[in-house]
């Protein structure tokens, strides 16, 4: 059954949860809401069980690291046609200094967990974002008691971002190797890694050693202000007005 558009969902969320949820802009049929970690389990249970919401299915839980949000290692305010010349000098292995981040940033905290929900009953989606209160020890409640499928998603977010899910029955790494040091999706994790492995013929076993490749600039997704993107946004606005 197809339900009312997302504006209706946003209104229902606001009426039901009040200040507990902070609604962000909707895109298409997807609505984003932010809430405090302490409210996550109770809100998730209500979203799953109450007939007007019925978000029966948890699609995904992922981590986000907003370290250096808005900063980048690319020249983003000029156009060029010379290959990879947008890349500029990297800022050492850590690249970003969280303590000296721009204070006007829209992301006051470093880590967040993002929950993607689907209502099969009403054919609509909802995104929940929960910021971790402590940057040094990021913790959010586990949703395994609400949607059991959260188990592996939360283990992945723990492994890659170091986010702890309080109440998880078996929180341990799921993708990286035994004894892996660090969390590879954190922004301050070096792109070249910390160690490398090779097979040693004399010892007849695989050994770990310090990484031998040079640090490199590689930022796959940044906030960009390229001339062509500015022009595209302007044209999109004009098309919207004409329609």
| Average pLDDT score over residue span 89-116 | 66
| Average pLDDT score over residue span 62-84 | 68
| Cα 128 to Cα 32: distance, rounded to the nearest angstrom | 6
State the pLDDT at residue 189. Answer: 84
124-131/195-200 β-pairing: unpaired
CA atoms within 13 A on the CB side of 196: 11
155 dihedral zone (left: phi>0; alpha: psi -120 to 50; beta):
alpha
State the pLDDT at residue 4. Answer: 47
What percent of the chain is predicted at pLDDT more than 90? 48
List phi, psi (to 5°) of 239.
-65, -40
- Domain 6-242: CATH architecture, name and number where available: 2-Layer Sandwich (3.30)
State the pLDDT at residue 228. Answer: 63
Tokens of 151: 């188990």
State the pLDDT at residue 43. Answer: 97
User: What tens digit of pLDDT does each residue of 150-207 get?
Assistant: 999 999 999 999 999 999 999 999 999 887 888 999 988 877 787 888 899 999 999 9
User: What tens digit of pLDDT does each residue of 105-138 get?
Assistant: 567 789 999 999 999 999 999 999 999 999 999 9
Cα-based distances in Å from 235 to 26, 78, 84, 149, 242: 21, 19, 27, 43, 11
State the pLDDT at residue 161. Answer: 97
Prediction pTM value: 0.74
What DSSP element (H or E) covers 155? helix 150-161
Which residues sit opposite 196 in a β-bridge?
A: 209
């Amino acid at each position: 059954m197809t339900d009312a558009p997302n504006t209706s969902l946003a209104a229902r969320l606001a009426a039901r949860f009040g200040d507990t949820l902070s609604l962000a802009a909707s895109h298409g049929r997807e609505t984003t809401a932010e809430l405090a970690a302490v409210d996550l389990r109770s809100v998730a249970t209500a979203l799953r069980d109450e007939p007007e919401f019925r978000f029966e299915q948890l699609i995904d839980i992922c981590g986000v690291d907003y370290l250096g949000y808005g900063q980048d290692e690319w020249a983003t305010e000029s156009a060029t046609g010379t290959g990879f010349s947008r890349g500029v000098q990297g800022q050492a292995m850590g690249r970003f200094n969280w303590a000296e981040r721009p204070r006007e940033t829209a992301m006051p905290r470093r880590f967040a967990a993002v929950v993607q929900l689907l209502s099969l009953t009403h054919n609509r989606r909802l995104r929940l974002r929960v910021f971790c209160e402590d940057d040094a020890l990021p913790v959010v409640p586990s949703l395994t008691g609400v949607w059991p499928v959260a188990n592996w998603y939360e283990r992945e977010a723990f492994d890659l971002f170091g986010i702890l899910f309080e109440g998880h029955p078996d929180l341990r790494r799921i993708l990286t190797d035994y004894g892996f040091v660090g969390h590879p999706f954190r922004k301050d994790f070096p792109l070249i890694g910390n160690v490398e492995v090779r097979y040693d013929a004399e010892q007849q076993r695989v050994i770990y050693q310090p990484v031998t490749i040079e640090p490199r600039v590689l930022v796959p997704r940044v906030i960009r202000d390229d001339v062509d993107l500015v022009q595209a946004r302007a044209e999109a606005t004009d098309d919207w007005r004409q329609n």
